[in-house]
Amino acid sequence: MKSLVARGALTNNRILEAWAKIPRGDFVPEDQAINAFNDSPLRLESFGFNISAPHMYCICLEALDPQPGMSFLDIGR
């Protein structure tokens, strides 16, 4: 997360707080958890999809500018 802030990918304090509360490692298979916080997409071959790189979520969330009480779901392919 610090590298995302340092690079300017994550600037919104509300998004930064939410990002800190949600452990990305909980959304990947256990064998991929060590790579969960790398700023690159994760290929989940057994499921047939990728999880986007963290900076992509930052770009999208910064553009969406979600307000308190809002949520979003990223459905990719």
Q: 32: burial class by Cβ within 10 Å (0-12, 13-18, 19+)?
A: middle
d(CA 60, CA 33) in angstroms, rounded, equals: 23
Active site residues: 52
Over its C-alpha atoms, the chain yields an Rg (Å, rounded) of: 13
d(CA 30, CA 40) in angstroms, rounded, equals: 17
